[in-house]
Structure 1
């Protein structure tokens, strides 16, 4: 069905659009309809344009097009006036009752988007008179780099989604631990490392107990932390593990609750990574919500999966 919105075809606009690019004016501020084209891919949506036999419809572009290279289905049933920036179509009476046709034009500058298509829908009495086509062009290599990044991010999200679905499909409790492969006959290897860790003088929390755990594909740390500040609580905001070669492993933590002044609380840290990436001595960095206070300990190691039952 014909869309009346002035921006019926609007792919995600660029986060930073150069000032020289034109954008569609507010609804009702100009004659005809306005369509914006961007370089982002990943969509099959084609804007619909309503045409009518005997009525001309003009497409005015803000970039030069290859008028001679345009393609138009059922062209023999149109009067066509091609130009570098203005293309006018007038369907004949033979188009009355016909199925939609597609108009495709390509731009002359070699930037993206390279081409644009429009779905021409025949109305018996009413056709659009004028369309303004504003194009937000980008160099092709820039678009390709962004598409590669998007594909990588989508691949990571799909993997994470698959993992979450797989975990959701498993039972809870002890059965769930065995079904997930995190626990075998040897249990979950663990060891107290409070005697081996190194501490920073700048730390604003005191470690009272530190226990390291390992399961296939993940490691965890149980921390009992005391907040010596007599006036201010300490709220965890983020955590990472930094490896022997300065590799950074993103860590999740729980619970994200304040450690009250003068009190002790337990905080769990977990990292999901292949077993080989969690070999060796690591530095744990935990920081507060406002970023001013940190807790950093070094020489954090994890037990081998072959060490036998845990706690």
Structure 2
């Protein structure tokens, strides 16, 4: 029997070295870190970078509630295995890492209306590091901004005090809210009998003095309806010209089913002659439940 020919030297060398093991082909592990990032106050400031990696879930924790419907993640449907938004959290797990020099944008809107209104990040990759936990904080507002806000509030308070003056009838005289013309009142005669938005108008009055006017309406929220509260009001002159509304107030926080309340609508300084008829409409904060349109004399 013929003996097999010897293997070539290069083949013998390859066999002696062996094939790469699973450990040799596995990606290098990333060191997982916890960080705090500060949201810039100005759009001109650089956006914080957050390091992500495939196989690692990154948790963002915010110091205020965020708007779940207004979270923007670049490549959300193609580059991520998981994107989960909570009241104060954002959880990301990439399926494809950002390439060298690539940045994926993330933009989150806060719900409280404070400044800055948005938090923005740039997702990047790093050969050895990944951000596992990210605490997101808004930078305290600069002292000069707080001082300006305080000055504005003090000015509003001073104006309010001067407007209110002493309580009672004497305060109305001292503040000029009532002059020698006194106050004229006109009942809303044509009260709508129809029901709209589960609301019924019970009655109302129009008040007019020299420097101010007021439309007052008593409302009943019918049984079986959800709670209601006024949000905005529209006041229109007979020729269709809108009149600016300064305030909309009610004697209760909201009306429960079957409850009645009084809504007062104050327009701007009454530059028109007394006795004119206006169309009044009161809406809730959502703008979906409104009173039947009233005609009020101011």
TM range (shorter): 0.3 to 0.5
TM-score between both structures, scaled by the size of structure 1: 0.41
Larger Rg: 2
TM-score between both structures, scaled by the size of structure 2: 0.43
